[in-house]
Amino acid sequence: MHTRRQALRLSPAEGPQRGLAGADLAGEPLRLLVLGESTVVGVGVSCLRAALVGRLAEALAVRHGRPVAWRACGENGITAVQACERLLPQVLDEPFDLALLVFGVNDVTHLTSLSRWRVALGNMAEALAGRGTRVAFSGVPPLQHFSALPWLLRQVLGKRAALLDSCLRQLAARLGAEHHPLSLKFSADYLAVDGYHPSRLGYRIWAEGLAARGLFARFD
């Protein structure tokens, strides 16, 4: 509670929550959805092109040699259960080829039970897959490195994050979806001034890491 009261509050990135990467490339654009929490709406940077969704769309456009039409659908502070109720209905009427689900930080700090976490993520993934969308999960971020948190709280929440991520990996295997953990050597430069959200560099490294590990590589 003390940490929440003292935390620096950053706003989501400005600008439209849709865009096109690789506009100079030939071919029909791949339709990318990134659905999730504050990192999806670019908290920590000024525009979504510099955030996860914009950087990822650029990387996928290069990998596939096609334009990527992206949409960000997220909400600051939202949990997976809340997103299933509030965000999922906003995107089900729109066709997507690829969807990346980005959750975990708020479910860690809100102590979401493993069963509710599993059900909410499973429902979102199955709803999207049922409409022909290829689904992937980004791993739960490593809260043990968030400098905005006191040391002991970082350790406790980091272990909780690892537990949720293990559950997510098992869920992905059961659903036939992709799971991409955030397995990179951490640097303080990856965090924004609030010590909690990614910086421009952090978002770029995150997106490039996803692409390098083969996110949607088998998309046909």
CB proximity list for 94: less than 8 A, separation 6 or greater: 33, 71
Three-state DSSP state, 49: helix
- Percent of the chain at pLDDT above 70? 91
Q: Which is it for strands 68-74 and 18-21: parallel, antiparallel or unpaired? A: antiparallel
State the Cα–Cα distance between residues 111 and 160, nearest whole angstrom.
Answer: 8
Helix (H) or strand (E) holding 62: helix 52-64
State the Cα–Cα distance between residues 157 and 140, nearest whole angstrom.
Answer: 11
How does pLDDT run across 58-98, given as a tens digit for each residue?
999 999 999 999 999 999 999 999 999 999 999 999 999 99
Task: Classify residue 29 by its DSSP letter.
Answer: P
For residue 129, name the pLDDT band (cuts at 50, 70, 90).
Answer: very high
Dihedral of the alpha carbons of 178, 208, 95, 120, in degrees to the nearest 10? 50
Instruction: Please state which of the four CATH numbers 3.30.70.1050, 3.30.70.360, 3.40.50.1110, 3.30.565.60 is assigned to the domain occupying 2-212.
Output: 3.40.50.1110
State the Cα–Cα distance between residues 207 and 68, nearest whole angstrom.
Answer: 14
Helix (H) or strand (E) holding 134: strand 134-138
CB proximity list for 203: less than 8 A, separation 6 or greater: 39, 42, 44, 45, 50, 51, 52, 55
Reply yes or no on whether the pLDDT at 10 is more than 70: no
Q: 55 or 185: which carries more pLDDT confidence?
A: 55
Domain boundaries, the chain: 2-212
Assess contact for 160 and 125: CB atoms under 8 A: no
Please state at what angle helix 200-212 crosses helix 52-64, rounded to 10 degrees: 30
Reply yes or no on whether the pLDDT at 149 is more than 80: no
Assess contact for 34 and 70: CB atoms under 8 A: yes
